[in-house]
Structure 1
Amino acid sequence: METVNTKFKWAEATGNAKYIADRHFEGLLEGRFYRSSCPRGVIKSVHIPALPEGYYLFGAKDVPGQNVLPIVEIDWPAFADNEVRYVGQVVFLLVGENPDVLEQLIQQISIEYQPLTPAYTVAQSQAMIDGPIHCTNNILDSHVLNKGDVDAGFAQAVTIIEETCSTGYQEHIYLETQGVVGYPKDGKVVIEGSMQCPFYVHHCMAVVLGHDHVRAIQCPTGGGFGGKEDYPDVLAGPLAVAVEKLQRPVRIVLERSEDIAFTSKRHPAEFRYRTGIDEHGKIVAMDIQFDVNSGAYLSLSGIVLQRSITTATNVYDIPNVRVEGHAWVTNTVPTGAFRGFGSPQTCFCMETHINHVAKRLGQDPVEFKRRHLLTTESTTLTGAAIFGDLVLEKMLERALCLSDYHNKAQEIAAQPADSMKRKGIGLALFQHGCGFAGDLEDTLVRAKVRLIKLADGQLQILASNTDIGQGLSLTFRKIVAETLDKPLGDIHLAVPDTGVVPDSGPTVASRSILIVGYLLEKAAQKLQSRWIDGEHQEIEEIYRKPDYHVWDQNNYQGNAYQAVSYGINVVEVEVDMATGESAIIGASAVYDIGKAIDERVFKGQIDGGLVQALGYGSCEKMELNADGMFAQKTMADYVIPTSLDVPMINSELVDNPYPYGPKGAKGGGELTHNGGAAAFAAAVESAIGKPLSSIPVTPEKVCEALYSDELGEQYGN
């Protein structure tokens, strides 16, 4: 059977793929947003210049349906109407033929605001100066989770250690900026775009327009990493209004600086730990409180919060735990989906804290972690039995061997104290729940796929999941081809078009292979049993959760995820003790993703995800200035790793087939981002001998850790 497709991603590889910016439409108009310059305030008056013929302005009063973006909750307006909550919020959409004229007209629009004191940080949000931004307390979402009896656990403790760990923003830096084009066709408003979730865009248009005569189509997409989950709605809502009114094609493509300034980012988070250790050196209780900065609207923060809460103890079996998390509204760009979806923040903070607890107790961090690992016999943080075999111990042995961890750790410990360049090594363990949290796959999404066999034996896969660079257009076809024992060239994947494909759910949460791939495998098995040569046949398959997967949403008890994937990263660094610069000189990784559909495709996920995580931990610094804007405005300001910054990554997969996944596979695309930042920070700590509790670990932060005490003494502090 043919298993190699030499034409996979051929159009992209040869430069023939037509992205949004490449596409031509007769009579195309361009769209530009007029955005708020006020971070928090009430709109008092608006000045609009006289518009030349052929130029049009759209705002809240032009919306025929609801002026909202239906991203989980109905709180984010498509166009700002009475108030604004952040700099860059969309107030108007200006449309016309000439982009230069559009820019000139935008400069002539002015709005008078009644400003209120903005809150850019969680602490400022908690202060509620000038009253609450949202509700009565500025909390967009919150939850408390308990396991065991945390008070009884602390009563057993002989040592209690408290610590705060934090993470910052992260920018997606996908190769292609956000872009959509809309046009009328067959009585519908159609939007094509660089997007992850066509049915999200479909639903958004329907709500804004007040009818379902809409259609969303994914174009070739130059990367997403979560950034094209929610944000395409921000473009699609206003665009749909303009297209329906004008009955002409309109395109919106963001410039890179606009994309960096106003699109969603990874949530900054702060975790506060209170950990109790008994006389045997075992953790018996842990109280975890954390806050995330959600920005101006809820967007996807509630789901990020739920994942952070249900995975707060990472891969460790701690008997008594209390977790309390809050998502706070601020006057900043709404934070949203980013690869890992809260897990990279949780993993960094938990792994860092466990390292520090071990060191305070005089124990080796790796062995301390080993003593606390979940096993097949464990109960999860949310009170469920572990399903299947947990192979963390086996993975740890492979990671230690692959990286030669113990020998290198001994060499590092023997380094001269006065070395100007010091090496360090760090290890992080991590997990990722596959699919939507809780029972949402069954109660909300209910994914549906369709297989069509044509009379000539060719097959079409119909699903709404998108290939945004992760190789789904190959792996879906391989699942069907191998199940039916047919050549790969006979299997075709339909363009994710809401007018054609069923709703198999969004391309998020590492669910595409686990959930949708399994449905395709089952559909192919049914087709195989019913195959009739020379006839047109169709098979439809709808998701049904496995019997063991039970969840209580009210109490956060049961199986938080249908399946969980696991990983271990080891990172080696060399730190210049004079400049604080850290060079990454080694990286190893071991993963349990069940069984890979295509190991070469997943190798790309391993390398890309780990590099992205190393950037998050080392150099991707994004800060707000005094006006609530990101200080980093271009790719010259926001530094990401290049191929010269990362060595060859040695990686292995541990075979641990999952019975409810295609060919035994679980999800893995997000997993690969979860541990790299924690491993990097641990490696730098190993090199400099000083604790680090926040990322990114920049040279400035290293120097501060190394020399702040000396400077304080020098200047009498």
Structure 2
Amino acid sequence: MDRVNIPFKWQEATGRSQFISDRHFDNLLEAKLFRSTCARAKILNITLPKLPSGYFVFGAKDVPGRNELPIVLSDWPVFASSEVRYLGEVILLLVGPDLKELDRLAKLIHVEYQQLTPAFTPQDSKQLIQGAIHNQDAIDDLKNVFDRHKLNKGDLAAGFSQAEHIFEESISTGYQEHMYLETQGMVGYHKDGKVVIEGSMQCPWYVHHCISTVLGSEDVRVIQTPTGGAFGGKEDYPDVLAGALCVAVQRLKQPIRLVLSRNEDIAFTTKRHPINFHYRTGVDSQGKIVAMDVKVDINAGAYLSLSGIVLQRAITTCTNVYDIPNATVEATAWATNTVPSGAFRGFGSPQTCFGIETHLNHIANKLGLDAAEFKRAHLLTTKSKTLTGADIFGDLVLEKMYAEICESSDYHAKVQAYRQQDRGANKLSGIGMALFQHGCGFAGDLEDTLVKAVVRLVKDDNDEIEIQVSNTDIGQGLSLTFCKIVADTLKRPLSSVRLAAVDTQHVPDSGPTVASRSIVIVGYLLEKAAEKLTDIWLGCTAQSVEQRYSKPDYHQWDQQAFKGNAYQATSYGINVVELEVDSATGVSEITGLWAIYDVGHVIDEAVFKGQIDGGFVQALGYGGLEVMTLDSEGRFQQTNMADYVIPTALDVPKIHSSVVDNPYQYGPQGAKGGGELTHNGGAAAYCAAIECAINHPINAIPVTPEVVCSLLYGKKSGLESMTQEEQGHENQL
């Protein structure tokens, strides 16, 4: 059986792939979004200039259906009409043949505002200055609250009664920009009586639902074009572009292109959620954690978008890979006057991993214990109950992973050596470890009750098989791994299987390309569909089969009580970062990286290696480089690739990575999800390594050279040595 699919990424590798900006359309018009210039205001009046022939402006009054983007909650308007909630909110769409002329016309539009005091942080949001942004008619405790959940495990009060030591601290994370290679972009046109949207996106059926809502018609079609990266950033935001664009296409019946510049993309698209954690943890006389109380405040931004789902993942994974017998977690997603926060690789897990890993490091240091061994003593086992009260399904191999990475990185010997180093030296060495997990698929029972995925295999009379799913290859390699799953199951040559272009007119809704669900959920459905096709196979005869999602019997969830299996399956990982800090400049040089993962069984080692390297490096940027701050008006101060710095290949050494083979019963070939997992631990491990080097606790990321210098030469010290602001993080003002 051949194992190499020559067409895999061949167009991209040779520079022939046609991205949305490369496509040619006859009689193409250009489009430009006109955005708000203040963060919170009532719109009193809009004055438009006289438009030249062939130029048009569209707004809320032109929407034929509903002026809303149906992203979970339909609170985000296509066009703002009576108020604006964040700087850069879309008010109008300008359309015409020349972009320079559109820029000129945009400058002539005047909006009269009644400005209100904006809230940029959860702390601001709680104060309700000049009234609530969201839930104005609710009781005070629920005003500006998009979503809130609380879960309990064990008896918190009884746990704290056993504690000999109680540790309390606050830890925070900031924004992160996706910085995908290709900016957001779409083209819309009219064909065969339908409005067609083509573009760079993750979830075509999301966009299909959006434009059918906005137009009030099901005569719509959505096609994913080759997509130059996404990382979650093209899950929700394509709805913003498509919602506005489809209104103009429906009216003009002419092709229209809307592509964001890099500055516009960074300034106004969704970001990773900033999160504030407050921990109160009790430890008994034997060094065991007996109680943990966690408060989580999420900056959701101006509209809910995906914040409720991010919040659910954050709360259900708050104790990470640890068995804490008595725990309470309360999490709230707050409305603020910032760009709506959205999906980003890891979907809340990198934040919760950083929080818990850093907090446990600080506790261990205060107790005079080795941090890694302290964590090891609290690891989940197959006999544990999860934070949401479920039994562990399958084998846990965390102990094996821990032993392997400690040996490969020589972790314990290096920790001992670096503790004894001369703190006055020009170069300070450090090493840090982070353990982490990622739930595969949507949280709770959403796969079963909401998504309800369907896949289809179509065989022609030449016995060539086409995979029809709505999951998109955005750089993670689905166009190869899906084909491998089907070819291996059918025992057919890989070259006889192809993945259909994702076009809602032809492919069923197998759910979105998010939440590390593509392999473990959709890949498993494809494996089952291929088994069906094997059973009915007729050579040289056209045939097709479909397979629908049905959750495994063990997967039970109570949404009201927040109890049960939070995820169908969970993947695990451990990262180790070794580095050297220049004590004069605070600049760190990474000298060693190690990673180990349990993703069930790896279908394609080269593809997953790409995920490991990319995810780890992206996480290191989150932990040490990627500063995103707001000014006093709510405007991001970093809007280009010169002032928003991301790591390059020159910033990292070779990553020594491995996997533990631990097949999952309900995954294709035993596989679980892995793409998001690889981002979850790197920032926490990097921060731990910096702490090891400089011998100071850190409570926020990114840990920039400025932060390091302020810690080395500042006056404060201790568990809560510095607030977020004092560490130089203005990302939440």
SS in 2 for 1:482: helix
Distance 1:229 1:479 in 2: 25
Distance 2:325 2:332 in 1: 23
TM-score w.r.t. length of structure 2: 0.97
CA distance 1:603–1:674, change in 2 (3 Å):
same
Q: Deviations over 1:231-262 (max 9, x none)?
A: 00000001000000000010100000000000
Report the CA distance between 1:414 and its aligned residue. 2.8
Q: Aligned pair 1:28/2:28, yes or no?
A: yes
Query: Which residue matches 1:165?
Result: 171
Distance 1:416 1:70 in 2: 58
Query: Which residue matches 1:715?
Result: none
Query: Which residue matches 1:237?
Result: 243
Query: Which residue matches 2:263?
Result: 257
SS in 2 for 1:74: strand
Alignment of 1:445-484 (within 5 A): 445-484=451-490
Query: Which residue matches 1:54?
Result: 54
Distance 2:317 2:511 in 1: 23
Distance 1:303 1:283 in 2: 29
Q: Aligned pair 1:635/2:637, yes or no?
A: no
The one of 524, 531, 535 equivalent to 1:518 is 524
Q: Deviations over 1:91-145 (max 9, x none)?
A: 0000000001000000000100011111111111111111111114111111101
Q: Deviations over 1:191-210 (max 9, x none)?
A: 00000000000000000000
Alignment of 1:76-155 (within 5 A): 76-136=76-136, 137-155=143-161
SS in 1 for 2:247: helix
Q: Deviations over 1:174-194 (max 9, x none)?
A: 000000000001110000000
Distance 1:643 1:548 in 2: 43
Distance 2:467 2:126 in 1: 50
Query: Which residue matches 2:41?
Result: 41
Alignment of 1:533-544 (within 5 A): 533-544=539-550
Query: Which residue matches 1:693?
Result: 699
Report the CA distance between 1:710 and its aligned residue. 8.2
The one of 669, 675, 688 equivalent to 2:675 is 669
SS in 1 for 2:715: helix
Query: Which residue matches 1:350?
Result: 356
Distance 2:578 2:6 in 1: 36
Report the CA distance between 1:407 and its aligned residue. 2.0
Q: Deviations over 1:632-677 (max 9, x none)?
A: 1110000000111011000000000000000000000000000000
Percent sequence identity is: 65
Q: Aligned pair 1:572/2:601, yes or no?
A: no
Alignment of 1:105-504 (within 5 A): 105-136=105-136, 137-504=143-510
SS in 2 for 1:503: coil
SS in 1 for 2:320: coil
What letter is aligned with 1:294? A
Q: Deviations over 1:51-105 (max 9, x none)?
A: 0110010000000000000000010000001000011000000000000100000
Distance 1:546 1:450 in 2: 20
Distance 1:273 1:526 in 2: 50
Query: Which residue matches 2:65?
Result: 65
Distance 1:576 1:45 in 2: 56
Q: Is the 8 A contact 2:423 2:694 kept in 1?
A: no
Distance 1:51 1:418 in 2: 68
Q: Which runs of 5+ in 2 are unaligned?
A: 137-142, 718-733
Q: Deviations over 1:377-406 (max 9, x none)?
A: 100000000000011000101111121112
Report the CA distance between 1:705 and its aligned residue. 1.0
Alignment of 1:539-618 (within 5 A): 539-618=545-624
Distance 1:700 1:38 in 2: 30
SS in 2 for 1:685: helix
Q: Aligned pair 1:644/2:650, yes or no?
A: yes
Distance 1:656 1:516 in 2: 19
SS in 2 for 1:160: strand
What letter is aligned with 2:613? D
Report the CA distance between 1:38 and its aligned residue. 1.5
SS in 1 for 2:639: coil
Distance 2:402 2:107 in 1: 58
Distance 1:686 1:100 in 2: 53
Distance 1:405 1:486 in 2: 45
Q: Aligned pair 1:18/2:24, yes or no?
A: no
SS in 2 for 1:411: helix
Distance 1:485 1:611 in 2: 37
What letter is aligned with 2:616? L
Distance 2:412 2:149 in 1: 40
SS in 1 for 2:696: coil
What letter is aligned with 1:389? D
Aligned residue-pair number: 712
SS in 2 for 1:540: strand
Distance 1:660 1:186 in 2: 42
Distance 2:88 2:431 in 1: 42
What letter is aligned with 2:703? V
What letter is aligned with 2:665? P
Distance 2:114 2:175 in 1: 29
Query: Which residue matches 2:722?
Result: none
Distance 2:540 2:122 in 1: 64
Q: Which runs of 5+ in 1 are unaligned?
A: 712-717
Report the CA distance between 1:413 and its aligned residue. 2.2
SS in 2 for 1:694: coil
SS in 2 for 1:709: coil
Report the CA distance between 1:417 and its aligned residue. 2.5
Distance 2:30 2:423 in 1: 62
Distance 1:370 1:100 in 2: 60
Distance 1:354 1:455 in 2: 60
What letter is aligned with 1:667? G
Distance 1:140 1:484 in 2: 47
Q: Deviations over 1:142-197 (max 9, x none)?
A: 11010001011001111100011100000000000000000001110000000000
Query: Which residue matches 2:729?
Result: none
Report the CA distance between 1:5 and its aligned residue. 1.8
Distance 2:433 2:320 in 1: 14
Q: Aligned pair 1:7/2:7, yes or no?
A: yes
Report the CA distance between 1:279 and its aligned residue. 1.4
Report the CA distance between 1:567 and its aligned residue. 0.2
Q: Aligned pair 1:530/2:536, yes or no?
A: yes
TM-score w.r.t. length of structure 1: 0.99
